[in-house]
Amino acid sequence: MTEARADGRTYDQLRPVTIEKGWSEQAEGSALISFGKTKVLCTASFTPGVPRWLKGQGKGWVTAEYAMLPRATNDRNSRESVKGKIGGRTHEISRLVGRSLRAAVDMSALGENTIVIDCDVLQADGGTRTAAITGAYVALAQSIEWAKANKHVPTKATVLTRSIAAISVGIVDGVPLLDLAYVEDVRAGTDMNVVATGDGKLIEVQGTAEGQPFDREELDRLLDIALAGTATLTELQNEALKA
């Protein structure tokens, strides 16, 4: 576990992370986030009102859509709009992002308002879904500030009940690694995405054996480094939000 990784990182080290709040000038909240070469543009669109099935309950709604530009990857993929349907992976990640963000929001405090988070991957090098969640939180937080400043939500309402951040971990050649780049991801025997709160509790744990099954000890080691990673991301989110 002492050997450096392809890009020189230690096993429990994040790639360089940047979070640029407000990158999109027209959205109520936005962030351009990078985990190494992975770049995701997250926007939050705040609109008064909720979908019909939720009307009259005094609660808000938060949902998310994740997508990838066709040439975000090494080889170009067909556009889902051209194919006329959304792939399973896109659906699955959109649902994960939305569910994770909803865990950070008090819907009653939000009131009958809707926030749609769009996470568009501009460049992909592994960890796009965890970068998306981490950046989406910043866009979400900015949009809630906007909503308070614009009187859509009472200034004193505690709409955000906690912060969330996400990171991928995996076992490569028997070694648990934090924040897998694409070249590591394809070699990982076990692959796990962890969404955690700012104070280290779990929102979502998705571990998958790509080759050999894993045991509970391995699960524990992966969780250890993942939670250290999300703690660092939480600090970076806070800095970005203060900027």
If one counts every other C-beta atom within 10 angstroms of the C-beta of residue 54, the result is 15
Q: From residue 175, give the alpha-carbon distance in Å to each of 163, 169, 194, 208.
A: 29, 10, 17, 16
Residues of span 30-59 touching its own copies by CB under 8 A:
30, 37, 41, 43, 45, 47
Near its own copies by CB under 8 A, which window of 10-18, 168-176, 200-208, 229-237? 200-208
Burial label for 112, CB within 10 Å (0-12, 13-18, 19+), is middle
CA-based nearest residue to 136, from 16, 23, 48: 23
The pattern of x and - marking residues 115 through 144 that bind its own copies according to CB under 8 A reads -x-x-x-xx---------------------
Q: How many CA atoms within 13 Å lie on the side-chain side of 242?
A: 6
Shortest distance, position 3 Cβ to its own copies, whole Å: 26
* Interaction of residue 73 with its own copies, rule CB under 8 A: yes
Among 127, 207, 229, 240, the residue binding its own copies under the rule CB under 8 A is: 207
CA-based nearest residue to 150, from 48, 65, 52, 222: 48
Enumerate binding residues for its own copies (CB under 8 A): 24-27, 30, 37, 41, 43, 45, 47, 65, 67, 69-76, 79-92, 94-95, 99, 103, 116, 118, 120, 122-123, 162, 196-197, 201-209, 213-216, 219-220, 223
